[in-house]
Chains A and B, each alone.
Chain A
């Protein structure tokens, strides 16, 4: 008996960074830069007696997506929570800078990160800042930067900041986008403010459905590699301009959002104000039913994210 598995039907959440890349881009088109055999590993982790990874937790390279050239970076959320260290960040920054001369159809960033690696915090924080600068430069040069978020580590800390600078974001239900994570908020403000063990609360507040409904993400897709591929192809074609008018529109939209929802005590109140008929039903909605709900919320899709 021969078992045939379609890489596209694989769960994005469960897949490794390498499996995601392999299934996302055109078959056998991925060419890795600084691959594991080059052993570009963290110079800092041995000081802490911690194991290293041959790729420092990020896979970068070039590939074809739907026949067009793209640059791809994929974080491995299971290695140190996908956190940014010196080499990890350097690989991402280098890839984004290479986009200026390589002129790909897009740069795809497969986020799966808790933020900065505490053992190399200064280098990690610098990498976050350099990445945001590099994304701004790439977008100024007319290259869309698309973020794909649906991994087990979510997209937190500096990763959440970087996501905010991308042209477009696709998210699955499992994906979470925020800066301070649930445990961080609880540690600083107490469990009465935010109970990190309340999984439903975490997903309501930071999860893919909430981000899509409020327009924080531009596409919502099923938890499969094929769905993320489809979303990426679609989003490249709809990337907004990156100019002063767009930035001012984004600022105005954020200010309006605070004014409109600032007194809400729970995400369900926000969804109700957005016009969702039965907000309590949103978390358990199927992907198809949720897509219909999103289509009925006019504010969910907006160039100025």
Chain B
């Protein structure tokens, strides 16, 4: 297993007030994304546990792209990965951010 953690500063807080959301399932080629509104609104953290080692650069790029698009300020995002492709990771992150946009 490989653990990766990325911290970013954001220009605005994530939309919505929902405190927590989860999307996806840990399965082959899939992943689960847990989002928690627990950080200061100008930062976010993405922690990944993956069964497939050696793809740190790809994760870094996918996460940076997500942060730039979604501006998930205040969110701690935790990922359990079952070997998802980058496009699946992007999709799940976007789905998770959308779920958090709801009101609590």
Contacts and interface: CB of A to CB of B under 8 A. Distances in A.
A51 B20 CA distance: 21
A78 B22 contact: no
Interface string A36-47: 110000000010
Given A49-B51, A51-B26, A79-B26, A37 B34 contact: yes
Contacts of B78: 54
A18 interface: yes
B104 interface: no
A303 B30 CA distance: 42
Interface string B3-22: 00000000000000000101
Contacts of A35: 20
B82 interface: yes
A53 interface: yes
A253 interface: no
Nearest to B25: A78
A16 interface: yes
A51 B25 contact: no
B96 to A, nearest CB: 12
A50 interface: yes
B-side interface size class: 10 to 19
Contact of A51 (B22, B34, B36, B81): B81
Interface residues of A, number: 15
A51 B84 CA distance: 12
B91 interface: no
Interface string B59-90: 00000000000000000001011100000000
Contact of B32 (A46, A49, A50, A54): A54
A54 B34 contact: yes
Contact of A36 (B1, B22, B27): B22
A53 B51 contact: no
Given A37-B20, A46-B1, A52 B36 contact: no
B30 A51 contact: no
Contact of A53 (B1, B25, B50): B25
A115 to B, nearest CB: 17
Interface of A: 16, 18, 35-37, 46, 49-54, 76, 78-79
